Amino acid sequence: MPNRVVIFGSGDVAEMNHFFFANDSTYEVVAFTVDQAYLKEETVCGLPVVPFERVEAIYPPAEHEMALFLGYRDLNRFRAGKYFQAKEKGYSLASYVCSRAIRWPDLAIGENSMISEGAIVQPHARIGNDVMVSSGALVGHNAVVGDHCFIGARTVLLGNVTVEPYCVLGANCTVKDGVTVRRECIVGAGSYVSEDTQEKGVYITPPAKRMPMSSDEFKRLLVWSEDVRRRKTDRS
């Protein structure tokens, strides 16, 4: 019999997590749960939605696991809070490693952690509890990701990187090999971190700026550049 799991949430992310479990795991999703104040639907994906406050009475922890694959709200503390509440209720928390991720037999991963499609986790890396590793991310060899972290899509953690608990790393950021990202840091999308950070630091690369020309003007510049290159090639 497959392990039965209750998913926390009832929105788009919860539906996506249901899809992952249903199509790419040995788990059977039996229900969804949300806080009573946010219970608006009776069913999601054809399954019941029950109040989190009394979920253990309806789906006993002795017979069910729970999954809380949520975002980085409040620097991961919302997800961590639900993680600890579910543990207090007696639940074991399911982890999910997508079959379309690349990982090795020595993968060490904690509870309530998720490795999404296209992610690469190299040998000797360790993933803690309650960690979200998004699509296409790289966790390099001997890297350590602490508890309650969020690793954005296409993030690159090179070899021997350490990410301490409660960090948020935005999409497409890169952390140089051997660097430590101290606890409760935010690294913005597209940023490059080349040295150890300070605890609770915020590291954001300046965003793209609008050029003083329109796309039509830039297109003409590209055409002109291509013509110049072609004439030089013809002369040679």
Provide the pLDDT for residue 236. 61
Domains 3-93 and 98-204 in one fold: no
Query: What is the per-residue pLDDT across 18-66, written as a single tens digit (0 to 9) for each?
Result: 999 999 999 999 999 999 999 998 999 999 999 999 999 999 999 999 9
Across all residues in the chain, what is the average pLDDT?
Answer: 94
User: Which pLDDT does position 222 carry in this prediction?
Assistant: 75
Q: What is the mean pLDDT of residues 86-106?
A: 97
Pairing of strands 168-169, 43-44: unpaired
Find tokens 């009776």 and name the residue. Answer: 42
With 70 as the cut, is the pLDDT of residue 78 above it? yes
Handedness of CA 53, 58, 59, 60 (dihedral sign): positive
Domain 98-204 classification at class level:
mainly beta
pLDDT at 111 over 80: yes
CATH 3.40.50.20 for the 3-93 domain, yes or no: yes
One-letter-per-residue 3-state SS of the chain: CCEEEEEECCCHHHHHHHHHHHHHCCEEEEEEEECHHHCCCCEECCEEEEEHHHHHHHCCCCCCEEECCCCCCCCCHHHHHHHHHHHHCCCEECCEECCCCECCCCCEECCCCEECCCCEECCCCEECCCCEECCCCEECCCCEECCCCEECCCCEECCCCEECCCCEECCCCEECCCCEECCCCEECCCCEECCCCCCCCEECCCCCCCCCCCHHHHHHHHHHHHHHHHHHHHHC
Q: Is 70 exceeded by the pLDDT of residue 1? A: no
Q: How confident is the model at residue 228 (pLDDT cuts 50, 70, 90)?
A: low
Per-domain residue ranges of the chain: 3-93, 98-204
CB 180 within 8 A of CB 161: yes
Which tokens in the block code for residue 147? 């508890």
Predicted pLDDT at 60: 97
Q: Is the pLDDT of residue 235 over 80?
A: no
pTM higher than 0.85, yes or no?
yes
pLDDT (tens digit per residue) in 199-226: 999 999 988 888 888 988 877 777 777 7
CA-angle at 116, arms to 204 and 40, nearest 5°:
90
State mean pLDDT over 179-184.
98
Query: How buried is 52 (Cβ within 10 angstroms: 0-12 exposed, 13-18 middle, 19+ buried)?
Result: buried
CA pair distance 230, 36, nearest whole angstrom: 67
